[in-house]
Structure 1
Amino acid sequence: MAAELNARPVGGTETSWCRAVPGGTGITVLAFLLSKSPKMLNLQTALHKIQNSHPILSSRLHTNPKTNTFSLVTSPTSYVQLKSFNLSSTLNILETLANPSNRSVSPLHLICEHELNENTWQHHNTADPDQDMFFASIYALPGTTWVLVLRLHVSACDRTTAVSLLRELAGLMSGRDEGKEREVVVKKKIGNKGEVNLGIEDLIPSGKANKGLWLRGMDMLSYSVNSLRLANLKFKDNKSARFSQVVRLQMNRDETQRVLNGCKARGIKLCALFVAAGLIAVDKCSKHRLDYKMKYGVVTLTDCRSSLDPPLSDHHFGSYHSAILNTRTTKGGETLWELANKTYKAFASSKNSNKHFSDMADLNFLMCKAVENPTLTSSSSLRTSFMSMFEDPVIDDSSDVQREAGMEDYMGCASVHGVGPSIAIFDTIREGRLDCICVYPAPLHSREQMQELVDNMKKILVDCDSNV
């Protein structure tokens, strides 16, 4: 009875993540490079404090095998499985990941990739249908350094949650006790749904998600038919088992400021400029003729917290992002800023029309159908778009607190090798420097191929002043 009172069915968006995660899309990873020896008891205490402040991190995902449905069940006690790998174990793991394409990749980078592919949710145990949502691991490295990794199910942890989790953990580890504020659980009069935060669908303002049956049917048909006509980055190997890999795009302060100033002067957001650079770069990598038109799918993820009813703060953990899918056509002769302006206008128009709410159910349904029927996608690749971006970058100016906690560097992203884009970009501006974690499905795409794509994107962005 207690479990029933502290449980609720997952919402539509959460359901799509629950369907996607077993295949390898939707595993959030935060990996920290530490220069201070982590005290296991203190770290465990810090993680428990964060769980106590945010009930969804203590919840378990319950699977009903008869109906193939999911529920979130609040655990009465906070508990996170904290694994520890000594130096020998860590080196063995790194050795298994060693290959020519990984020679220049740091241990932090490799461990982040390793954790992206540790899929705790891949197989349902019928004897124990409840699964934890939150895991933590410590890896010892040579030279008195360590990597701390937090791994979470995306239905409990979108990017905003991951950023808040980073800040709270850094505060607790530095002694500033940033995790002491307890999250206020939002409830609405829609039945007894327990103490787990409500899903995004239950908080959409009245009328914002309305769509007539005929219009919904037409939109569903349009999305599904158009997806078959979208171009993709060339696939290298669409037969072998897939896993997620990462390439990193970093800029210095001057380069970052030049890019941001260009966006500000034109009244567009960084996401549009990134998409434009990506589209120009993919055409260059694919060696299309200048007069050859190509149509690509682009997904922009927007944090809906501030526009929900009631509005939520960044302190509310869970999955509250929604997607807007647009198609962009590239043709020879377009400049970077011209394509960026068109991209931003299309996105802004869709958002002003509330498509991030009204199309939510349609895109969730199509995502689940793609998971169940890979042949619906090009070459059974499960690629639903060329690129995904967030509407706004993360602004991280908390390096002082992170250094006090011994955090020298970090990487945060989510896996995409099940269903999703060819490249998912997680952008952060850290102390004025742009740092992007770009995740892609391997070996569908190779590291060399994606490194070339990202290098071309960076060159296009750095040269943005000349691309007018």
Structure 2
Amino acid sequence: MTDSTTRRLGGTEWSWAQAVPGGTGITVVAILLSKPPNLPHLQNALHKLQNHHPILRSKFISTPPSYSILPSPFLQIQTVDIPTTSSLLQTPQSSDPFPISPLHRLLEHELNINPWAHDINGPIESDLVFATLYALPDSNLVFALRLHTSICDRTTAVALMKELLVLMKEGEGGAEREFEKSGEDEVGLPVEELIPKGKADKPIWTRGLDLVGYSLNSLRLAHLGFEDVASSRRSEVVRLQMDENETSRFLAECKDRGIKLCGALAAAGLIAANSSKHLTDNESENYAVVSLIDCRKILDPPLHDHNLGFYHSAILNTHKITNGEDVWDVAKRCYTVFSNAKNSNKHFTDMGDLNFLMCRAIENPGLTPSSSLRTSFMAVFEDPVIDDSGGSQVEVGLEDYMGCASVHGIGPSIAVFDTVRDGRLDCAFVYPSPLHSRKQMDGLINDMKAILMGGGR
């Protein structure tokens, strides 16, 4: 193949293409390494990933909205020396009273590098994936992959990290055999073209009523208090970690009640946010929660986790929260409402509606409270990432990792990226700053943990 090929964007991909220039939808996986990688080997590994997954060697073309798939890999690792990294770690944000690790700081730095910040309606051709290796003063390194979310949902990010670690650990031969078992030899279709027949059907009058309903309901929704609505925004992260005993107890509580982790996290967030407003016991407010579903296994044909792209859909539900409610009662309600909506195929029938409304809000920020571009209080994933790799990652020097996506354009006040890693819960809570402050979010997340561990209000 000597020339590039193209594939038009689907509706969900196009909505992300409109969101990312404003700052939402920059996906980053950051890995802390104690052993310096062989740079040519790492570069070759990335090229093998691009060869194996054609979507990774694509460029975004704005007119018409499409991916241009180049015939050969082109990704080059950018290296950042110790003085430059040290300067990045000494940003003004580093003086805040909530110190964070170099890995955490560099993750935030990457979330706020936006090569796609341009007029989406102008003629554009841009790369969709970037790689950077940062040298730290303590001889450790941080390797970061930054991707445009239209080609990288959370499942894609996890698959990429796993495949990259295989390449780094086993060398080309072993990795090739791994890929052959779960390979991808062409660019996948948009999610809309893989929805099972009849699952997305909705009468046109029902669609119109739903659009009106979503729009009117949004005007009555409560939000976490905004601290600065005027200043330019960036994405920041608060990290919540539980030890093995805490996680085991928490997950056992969820299992005993027949709910998923997402229901409990949403409930704790709703109760903590409502409590922060110091309402009287009989006062209540309505909050929106967006639940994200990986559709791969329920598409036609079904996909596997190594089919890269954006194959998530969303369900938006509102919840009335009154002070004094029990967290597990709220969790059961949150999960039941979500589960019923999923069983009714709302993740398929409302896909186009939610994409349409997101794009309208991007064009008209005044449609959102205080022009904040907040469309919900919280976003959660239906299922956490499960990582039981244990000590196998030590061979490549992996000490820690974090992965999430930016939200400082349109989106929720809190996006939850949850992982159960070797039996320990590890959550990245991403929020737009200074719309919300680190102090405000740190307090909210600590309250959430106390609520979950206390099993009460």
One-letter identity of the residue aligned with 2:246: E
Q: Distance in 2 between matches of 1:2 and 1:129?
A: 22
> Please, which of 420, 424, 438 is the counterpart of residue 415 of structure 2?
424
Note the C-alpha offset of 1:2: 6.9
Q: Distance in 1 between matches of 2:115 and 2:3?
A: 22
| Pair 10,307 (structure 1): closer, same or farther in 2 beyond 3 Å | same
Note the C-alpha offset of 1:92: 1.3
| Pair 260,127 (structure 1): closer, same or farther in 2 beyond 3 Å | closer
| Pair 2,352 (structure 1): closer, same or farther in 2 beyond 3 Å | farther
Note the C-alpha offset of 1:332: 2.7
2:139 corresponds in structure 1 to 144
Q: Distance in 1 between matches of 2:93 and 2:349?
A: 46
One-letter identity of the residue aligned with 2:133: I
Secondary structure of the structure 2 residue equivalent to 1:286:
coil
Q: What is the root-mean-square deviation in Å for CA atoms of aligned residues? A: 1.8
2:246 corresponds in structure 1 to 255
Note the C-alpha offset of 1:321: 0.3
Note the C-alpha offset of 1:291: 1.2
> Please, which of 104, 115, 125 is the counterpart of residue 109 of structure 1?
104
2:211 corresponds in structure 1 to 220
Q: Distance in 2 between matches of 1:271 and 1:260?
A: 11
Note the C-alpha offset of 1:174: 1.2
1:181 corresponds in structure 2 to 179
After superposition, the C-alpha distances for 1:239-279 in whole angstroms (9 at most, x for unaligned) are: 00011000000000111011110111111101001111001
Aligned residues of 1:305 and 1:314 also touching (Cα < 8 A): yes
Structure 2 residue 172 is matched with structure 1 residue 164: no
2:115 corresponds in structure 1 to 120
2:396 corresponds in structure 1 to 405
Structure 2 residue 38 is matched with structure 1 residue 39: yes
Gaps in structure 2 of 5+ consecutive residues: none
Secondary structure of the structure 1 residue equivalent to 2:221:
coil
One-letter identity of the residue aligned with 1:163: V
After superposition, the C-alpha distances for 1:190-219 in whole angstroms (9 at most, x for unaligned) are: xxxxx4211000000000000001000000
After superposition, the C-alpha distances for 1:309-348 in whole angstroms (9 at most, x for unaligned) are: 0000001000000000000000133211111111111000
Note the C-alpha offset of 1:81: 3.0
2:349 corresponds in structure 1 to 358
- State the number of aligned residues: 453
2:381 corresponds in structure 1 to 390
Aligned residues of 1:32 and 1:147 also touching (Cα < 8 A): yes
One-letter identity of the residue aligned with 2:103: L
Gaps in structure 1 of 5+ consecutive residues: 187-194
1:130 corresponds in structure 2 to 125
Runs of 4+ in 1 over 4 A off after TM superposition: 1-4, 124-128, 182-186
Secondary structure of the structure 1 residue equivalent to 2:255:
helix
Aligned residues of 2:274 and 2:323 also touching (Cα < 8 A): no
Note the C-alpha offset of 1:397: 0.8
Report 1:194-213 matches (<5 A): 195-213=186-204
1:154 corresponds in structure 2 to 149
Aligned residues of 1:59 and 1:196 also touching (Cα < 8 A): no
Q: Distance in 2 between matches of 1:125 and 1:332?
A: 43
Q: Which moved further from structure 2: 395-404 or 295-304?
A: 395-404
Q: Distance in 2 between matches of 1:428 and 1:125?
A: 33
Aligned residues of 2:52 and 2:184 also touching (Cα < 8 A): no
One-letter identity of the residue aligned with 2:62: T
Structure 2 residue 69 is matched with structure 1 residue 74: yes
Q: Which moved further from structure 2: 94-103 or 17-26?
A: 94-103
Secondary structure of the structure 1 residue equivalent to 2:240:
strand
Note the C-alpha offset of 1:185: 5.0
One-letter identity of the residue aligned with 1:117: N
Note the C-alpha offset of 1:228: 1.0
Structure 2 residue 48 is matched with structure 1 residue 52: no
Q: Which moved further from structure 2: 343-352 or 88-97?
A: 88-97
Q: Distance in 1 between matches of 2:17 and 2:122?
A: 19
Aligned residues of 1:171 and 1:405 also touching (Cα < 8 A): no
| Pair 53,277 (structure 1): closer, same or farther in 2 beyond 3 Å | same
1:17 corresponds in structure 2 to 16
Q: Distance in 2 between matches of 1:124 and 1:416?
A: 18
> Please, which of 359, 365, 385 is the counterpart of residue 368 of structure 1?
359
| Pair 255,228 (structure 1): closer, same or farther in 2 beyond 3 Å | same
Aligned residues of 1:29 and 1:413 also touching (Cα < 8 A): yes
Q: Distance in 2 between matches of 1:299 and 1:349?
A: 14
| Pair 102,243 (structure 1): closer, same or farther in 2 beyond 3 Å | farther
Q: Distance in 2 between matches of 1:462 and 1:436?
A: 15
Q: Distance in 2 between matches of 1:254 and 1:35?
A: 27
Q: Distance in 2 between matches of 1:21 and 1:306?
A: 27
Q: Which moved further from structure 2: 94-103 or 161-170?
A: 94-103
Structure 2 residue 323 is matched with structure 1 residue 332: yes
